[in-house]
Structure 1
């Protein structure tokens, strides 16, 4: 068998993982006894795995998660009120498939951002697009986009994202411009995307952060009525460490 032309043809077709596997099998004496069907199956599996890993790497890069957190490393032993059954249910990403929302609230240092990034990482692994932004940075990006005449394009990009993570919401009240931007973001995601918000402020006080009764009702009605909640408590994990 002339291996080189076949390998080059595979690479030309964009099947580089399959080409590398073919070379590996050809140089492996034990592979000579394998049926051709097994060779083909292994070639296809390697190519599929390579492409899946490449797509995951692109999703993780685009997500810009703040912390390298995974659901496998969640600490359930620390006393902070984390409901293990609820978190493991959220780790299936079914809530993202259902376009539900999630609020993670609790004192500073209790691991809100870490848990949000772990769920964002799992959503990427499950094939969803994710974007992480701290609330101050998100509103700064929106203000800059408005000034540069590209706000509509940024809003469209946010709308297309399956899971938008807004970290460190509050406690400063929103400006009128920020309230309108947040309402548009929330409205765009209604029944089409998921929102994960972390905050030191209890959900019952989010009206105070929005600082406008009418817009507060409109925003929270779209977020809270189908939102899961994780309410953490206790001392800062960083202080304990």
Structure 2
């Protein structure tokens, strides 16, 4: 006759660790609610599936390098920054991602661009898409060193294979010629195959100045805007408006 200890050993052998941890609890629940064997087994297996999915999601968020704040359910619609609740809900539905559309979030610093972009990337991850979030500073390093180090090559390949690539603070700083050309190549590779979210506080005219190349800036914008929703944010910085002090 098999005992609970025997069952635990078999669960550990099969590496069903979450089921093993919840075994006693599930046995009590089964007895209290008079579950059938099938109902009890379903409960155990669903517990294992839920725990594994949560672990996988945490790993995907870590690899995507999302900012700490990325939950759009906490978005403050009391702030008038140019995007309505209806527009936000449409973005959250991710239909644009299914159709390989891009989203360009433009506006002054502190108006919520990064938070929205990270939130959409998180929803994409939850929906099963491969999503990557990188600041332009990080991406510039990846592009520049992709042929020199194994780590940066792996990160570059992850960007190429992403179904959603978020580039945060694009054109905030001047971009080296070589990096600009590699960035164009990356965007061109993703064109009509994946979606890109751009956050920027620069106008298209200023992109040419950041790249120091009008032709390259025009070609890049041509790819990004071909199938894109441009969201123009406005207003004063939310961080400055809600800033905290020591005293």
Return the TM-score normalized by structure 1.
0.89
Describe how 1:1-241 pairs up with structure 2 within 5 A. 1-28=2-29, 30-31=31-32, 33-148=34-149, 153-203=154-204, 205-241=206-242
CA contact (8 A) 1:60 1:124 kept: yes
- The 3 A distance-change label for structure 1 pair 14 and 175 is same
Structure 1, 114-123 or 91-100: larger mean CA deviation: 91-100
Residue 29 of structure 1: CA displacement?
A: 7.2
CA contact (8 A) 1:109 1:235 kept: yes
Which whole-Å CA distance do the structure 2 matches of 1:153 and 1:63 have between them?
A: 13
Which whole-Å CA distance do the structure 2 matches of 1:35 and 1:92 have between them?
A: 39
Return the TM-score normalized by structure 2.
0.87
Which whole-Å CA distance do the structure 1 matches of 2:154 and 2:62 have between them?
A: 20
Residue 71 of structure 1: CA displacement?
A: 1.3
Which whole-Å CA distance do the structure 2 matches of 1:150 and 1:124 have between them?
A: 22
Residue 117 of structure 1: CA displacement?
A: 1.4
Which whole-Å CA distance do the structure 2 matches of 1:100 and 1:228 have between them?
A: 7
CA contact (8 A) 1:67 1:117 kept: no
- The 3 A distance-change label for structure 1 pair 147 and 51 is closer
Report the number of matched residues: 241
Q: What SS is found at the alignment partner of 1:192? A: coil
CA contact (8 A) 1:100 1:227 kept: yes
- Structure 1 unpaired stretches of 5+: none
Residue 173 of structure 1: CA displacement?
A: 3.8
Which whole-Å CA distance do the structure 2 matches of 1:72 and 1:148 have between them?
A: 39
Which whole-Å CA distance do the structure 1 matches of 2:204 and 2:215 have between them?
A: 17
Which whole-Å CA distance do the structure 1 matches of 2:84 and 2:203 have between them?
A: 17
Cα deviation code 1:61-108 (max 9, x no counterpart): 111112322011111111111132221111123322322211111011
- The 3 A distance-change label for structure 1 pair 213 and 155 is same
